[in-house]
């Protein structure tokens, strides 16, 4: 997936579950512009799904949805064109794991959806989360998504990150956590930032 200087999105490669957002499941060998994606601020890609954040704070999703990673009920296992996730507004940051998604809002709330088989989303009692679900304990945290795991930290100061999910071929139990020590000065960017401004703003280029 490619985001150009005009805030439009292009895709190429494997498209077996509509993850290129081109309305079909045909692979592409050259970058092809994705319709319906205008004024895009950032993109995030999982194994076979994609999130796109526009300048109005809306999130669009497409691709595989077998675990709820698109954030809405498609009625099918995948979605071949970009659709806005309903009732999800004022978003400032998006990220994807292999088959899960994390969205951060301007009021610092965090919503998660998708695969939770290994406890990577820390939503009790659900192996798959089909609707955006709030995580009060992740508010204003450093959050990093991996393939089948998430890292969550309290601050930039102490360098500690808690790890949840599938790590080194082992599952971290949902009732426990692994603490990782990050070296001082390691360049970890905070999850939260300013709300995306209009794509015509020069500061976005």
Higher pLDDT pick, 74 / 197? 74
Q: Tell me the C-alpha distance between 85 and 113, whole Å.
A: 11
Residue 32's Cβ-side half-sphere holds a number of Cα atoms within 13 Å equal to: 17
For residue 169, what pLDDT is reported? 55
- Give the residue from 54, 135, 134, 154 showing the smallest Cα distance to 94: 54
Q: pLDDT tens digit string along 145-191?
A: 889 988 888 755 556 678 888 866 555 544 445 555 444 444 444 44
Q: pLDDT tens digit string along 90-114?
A: 999 999 999 999 999 999 899 999 9
In this structure, which CATH number among 3.20.20.70, 3.30.565.10, 2.130.10.30, 3.40.630.30 belongs to the domain 2-135?
2.130.10.30
- Helix/strand/coil for 40: strand
For residue 164, what pLDDT is reported? 86
Higher pLDDT pick, 185 / 125? 125
Q: pLDDT tens digit string along 36-93?
A: 999 999 999 999 999 999 999 999 999 999 999 999 877 789 999 999 999 899 999 9
The answer to whether 51 and 43 are in contact (CB under 8 A) is yes
Higher pLDDT pick, 76 / 5? 5
Domain ranges of the chain: 2-135
Which pLDDT band holds residue 15 (cuts at 50, 70, 90)? very high
- Token digits for 9? 């999105």
């Amino acid at each position: 997936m490619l985001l150009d200087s005009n805030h439009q999105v292009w895709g190429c490669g494997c498209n077996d579950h509509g993850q290129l957002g081109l309305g079909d499941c045909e692979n592409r060998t050259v970058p092809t512009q994705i319709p319906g994606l205008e004024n895009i601020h950032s993109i995030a890609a999982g194994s076979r799904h994609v999130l796109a954040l526009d300048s109005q704070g809306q999130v669009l999703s497409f691709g595989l949805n077998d675990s709820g990673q698109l954030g809405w009920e498609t009625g099918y296992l995948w979605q071949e064109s970009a659709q806005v996730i309903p009732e999800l507004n004022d978003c400032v940051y998006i990220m994807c794991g292999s088959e899960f998604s994390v969205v951060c809002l301007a009021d610092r709330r965090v919503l998660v959806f998708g695969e939770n088989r290994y406890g990577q989303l820390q939503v009790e009692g659900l192996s798959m989360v089909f609707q955006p679900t709030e995580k009060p304990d992740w508010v204003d945290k450093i959050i990093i998504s991996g393939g089948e795991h998430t890292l969550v930290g309290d601050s930039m100061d102490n360098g500690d990150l808690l790890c949840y999910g599938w790590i080194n071929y082992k599952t971290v139990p949902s009732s426990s956590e692994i603490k990782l020590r990050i070296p001082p000065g390691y360049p970890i960017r905070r999850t939260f930032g300013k709300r995306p401004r209009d794509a015509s703003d020069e500061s976005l280029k």
